[in-house]
Chains A and B, each alone.
Chain A
Amino acid sequence: MSESAHIRVTVNGSPIECDVEPRMLLGDFLRTTLALTGTHFGCEHGVCGACTVIVNGDSTRSCLMFAVQADGGTVETVESLGTIDALHPLQEAFRTHHALQCGYCTPGMLMTALDLIRKRPLANDAEIRDGLSGNLCRCTGYQNIVIAVREAAKVIRASNL
């Protein structure tokens, strides 16, 4: 158990090099080793999507992946988006449309939505809902999340972000 593996991974643009236990989940690595506590666990078995981050360009559940599997790759977490004073347009849309309440699902929701906006046309709400269906939110009833993603997609595409 205690032997460790050496990994190199780029997290939110910063190169990280360190030793990790092979069994350490990517999510735990982010939360404990790197103190990036924006990524949350809601189930630790791949259903809720709260732990979603973007690994090598694809939204990924950080509770279903080991940190060693990210070796040589790139990871984007919620901390890579905007700042308190300069929110990312997607974050801004979540705020404007009240797409979060307790905020616990929010980082995962944002990362999934970002991946959707980057890759899918999101031509209608049904497509947005389908894309978000792997991320559970217990507070909002999804309505405002759908609206926020719809509106953010417009803004982001218009400004080519």
Chain B
Amino acid sequence: MLETTRPKLVGASVKRVEDPRLLTGQGAYTDDFRPNGMLHVGLVRSVHPFARIVHINTAEAKRMPGVIGIFTAADIDGAAKPILATSKMKEYRAVPLPILAKDTVHHVGEAVVAVVATSRYLAEDALRKVEIDYEPLAACTDPEEATRPSAPLVHPSLGSNIALAREFVRGDVPAAMAAAQVRVKGRFRFFRKAALALESRSYLAEFNGGRRELTLHTSTQVPGIVRESLAELLDLPGNSVRVIAPDVGGGFGAKTSVYPEEILVCVLARRLGKPVKYTSDRLEDLSSTSQAFDEVIDAELGVAADGTLLALSADVTGDVGAYSVYPWTAAIEPVQVVSFLPGPYRLANYLGKVRGVITPKVPLGPYRGVGRPVSTFVMERLIDMAAVKLGIDPVAMRLKNLVREDEFPYKVASGIVWDRSAFIECLDAACQKADYAALRTMQHAARAAGRWIGIGIASYAELTGIGSKIPAAPGMPVNTGTETATIRIDATGAVTAIFGVASHGQGLETTLAQIVADDLGVRMEDIRIIQGDTAGRAYVTGTYASRSTVLAGGAAKLAAGAVREKVMLAASHLMEAAVEDLDASNGIIFVRGTDRRMTFKELARKVYVEFSRLPKELQQELEATRLYDPVVGTTSSASHIAMVEVDPISYQVHVLRYVVAEDCGRVVNPMIVEGQVHGGVAQGIGAALLEEVVYSEDGQLMTGSLMDYVLPSATGIPMMDVLHVEAESPSTLGGFRGMGEGGTIGAPAAIANAVSDALSPLGIEINELPATPERIFRLVEQASKQKR
């Protein structure tokens, strides 16, 4: 029968629904919206890392053409509460994040004065005429120095520069270390990084005074979280605030926090009665959008002679910058480093300590992978170091210690529980695909010829699709563990499915439609997915933390199931058939084994228009809203294998081969999953080899353009092989596991191990990332000096 032969959409590489508009220039990003009468905000940002604002003179700026108004913190005092990221963590301190700096600036790039003008050009002309007198203050930019009692405090009211501290203990580390035949340790460092979405941050606020209604278009990943914040900070009821994330040009975690400029445009639109837009340029982006990593990790691993891991200890110091981002807090990155450090391995004894230190720099925030790119880098380096010392092959070393099938669910030393995921299977699959043995043979031959070629492996696990039972960031005050779907068949038979997620490149309009189409029995083209918009939603957040397929996919299945039930009841009456004999596919409801059929369109018309003819119990809308909570979430895992060559003249690292085998459960759209892995790995390679936010010792930002902050280009990223490995189905609805972040988690570790392997004849270990040509050059110089 025709209807039943249609292959399922879930599992198929369906072409993306989003693409035609994005490909033809009809995507609509925030800066593309231009309502009538729109005004532009330009911001005067601090040029000092830490200074008292002595005086602000705006007289000349006010006289500039096109200027509508100039606003300092004093001018908007009381218009909005400041943003405060609270936490349930025991040792945690934060100050409110001001909309504009009040008496003191705390990092280069902090906004001080807002200039509103009729065009962006005129706003920028005028902001050059604003004069600000500063009195520079002494500050520590080095996080370790900043913890000393004598160090000047960035926020004296906190009484300390330590924003947070935490410890994880399991077992008896000193005893296990003492018993270990081999101990390896190091001081690891992953320098500061920018997420660098290609679209920089942009916000457009419109306030309708008559209706007391605020609409914000924002380049955010979390329109729901922004709405709750606006309602709270501007003292408006939620039903008067609508936040729309239209097409968004990438986010990678940096667009998950609520930003002062987001509040500012709303304050100004309300004050001025005109639409107000702010679009940051790249320098502003690099000096005000939350950044990542910036941790020093002293770690030690104790191993038995046969390679069994015995004990791990780590002391992490994270430089969290000047403020705590909302809602994630300054704890999100450094604490996740210690939470995830033990990785996918069996390990009985663990001691993990972490401190987050406040310095006058851009606040640290979530970035793709959060904590895990750094924890994986450290753990995978330690494993390789131990393997070298023991003379065990790095693959064998990992196979010996990866949590085995019969050991799941496995509780990690830090309290995280891994559900069954294909830890070992992924490593096996990656080795097979890469032909690991052949790579080693190639490497030996190349080495004999004097080339610096190395192979690096990284295995990791992550928690994805996190439910309401665990906060997505330690101690954070917001529920990120639920997602709600509303699915409606309207009187024309068309399907609308509304979610709280906010796609910014992931293709959720496609993947969620695939799920809904399958479960409802309609065609892709019958469905419109609405997301990235808070209108009419009770509680939504957005897209982050590899949650959207798991949570929105689960909510879609629940709501689609409920709607389908209503459809079938109505069809049963209209088609005079038992519900059990009915089925639906391709937008047609049919009685199995017969040629009796009815389209969704016909059915919808009968339900809504010929309403009075239906029996009472069927007089209902074909609509359902369902909330899904995966409670704890599920584990995703992967193994990466990289082969690299270090150029002995330029010291550049070339990635020759890259293989990823990952378990993200049931794959909704393999094409999209592979694309996510490709992009994640490319960012991981960038993090490992190129990208670094540099501050001078006195706190000046040295990397304010894309000439200084270098992203990988098409010539620096290799072709990759991506394999999907499915272990048993997780307990999530639909069997989905999250996977948006994984690529970025594995790649830095795999590259660091590969470069270390390449340079092992010189005795060089890569314990600092990014391994830029300059760093490699210095290591080689040092090594050859020692040899002499």
Contact = CB atoms under 8 A, between A and B. Distances in A.
Interface stretch (B24-32, B137-145, B568-576, B763-771): B24-32
B683 interface: yes
Contact of B705 (A32, A45, A125, A145): A45
A45 B238 CA distance: 40
A48 interface: yes
Interface stretch (B47-55, B149-157, B248-256, B294-302): B248-256
Q: How large is the interface on A (under 10, 10 to 19, 20 to 34, 35 or more residues)?
A: 35 or more
Contact of B706 (A2, A43, A95, A110): A43
A102 B32 contact: no
Q: How large is the interface on B (under 10, 10 to 19, 20 to 34, 35 or more residues)?
A: 35 or more
A95 B15 contact: yes
A103 interface: yes
Given A48-B198, A102-B504, A130-B715, A87 B24 contact: yes
A73 interface: no
A78 B682 contact: no
A95 B715 contact: no
B696 interface: no
Given A45-B705, A48-B198, A84 B24 contact: yes
Contacts of B672: 98
| Of B23, B27, B247, most A-chain CB atoms within 10 Å | B23
B679 A141 contact: yes
Nearest to B683: A138
Contacts of B19: 94-95, 100, 103
Interface in A42-71: 42-45, 47-48, 50
Contacts of A24: 121
Contact of B679 (A94, A104, A140): A140
Contact of B28 (A37, A43, A77, A100): A37
A115 interface: no
Interface in B50-99: 65
Given A98-B672, A141-B681, A45 B282 contact: yes
Nearest to A136: B711
A132 B23 contact: no
Contact of A37 (B25, B671, B713): B25
Contacts of B199: 40, 42, 102, 104
A48 B282 CA distance: 10
B21 A42 contact: no
B125 interface: yes
Nearest to A36: B25
B678 A138 contact: no
| Of B28, B252, B506, B706, most A-chain CB atoms within 10 Å | B706
B13 to A, nearest CB: 8
A48 B679 contact: no
Contacts of A101: 250, 505-507, 675-676, 679
A141 B682 contact: yes
Contacts of B26: 38, 84
Given A43-B282, A138-B683, A140-B675, A38 B34 contact: no
B281 interface: yes
Interface in A124-161: 125, 128-130, 132-146
A43 B249 contact: no
Interface in B236-288: 247-250, 252, 281-282
Contact of B24 (A78, A125, A141, A145): A78
B18 interface: yes
Contacts of B27: 38, 103-104
Nearest to B708: A47
B18 A103 contact: yes
A98 B282 contact: no
A81 interface: yes
A10 B720 CA distance: 42
B198 A138 contact: yes
Nearest to B706: A47
Contacts of B433: none
A84 B17 CA distance: 11
Contacts of B125: 1
A77 B680 CA distance: 29
A96 interface: yes
B218 to A, nearest CB: 15
A79 interface: yes
Contacts of A146: 714, 719
B706 A139 contact: no
A83 interface: yes
A29 to B, nearest CB: 12
B714 A84 contact: no
B22 interface: yes
B507 A137 contact: no
Contacts of B197: 102, 104, 138
B21 A84 contact: yes
B250 A104 contact: yes
A133 B281 contact: no
A98 B24 CA distance: 15
B102 interface: no
B9 interface: no
Contact of B714 (A21, A36, A102, A135): A135
| Of B25, B196, B717, B719, most A-chain CB atoms within 10 Å | B25
A79 B682 contact: no
Nearest to B196: A138
Which 7 residue pairs spanning A and B have beta carbons closest together?
A38-B25, A104-B249, A103-B22, A102-B505, A141-B678, A141-B682, A101-B505
19 contacts: A1-B125, A23-B121, A24-B121, A50-B198, A82-B24, A83-B24, A84-B21, A94-B19, A95-B16, A102-B504, A104-B198, A125-B719, A133-B713, A138-B250, A138-B252, A138-B711, A139-B675, A140-B675, A141-B678
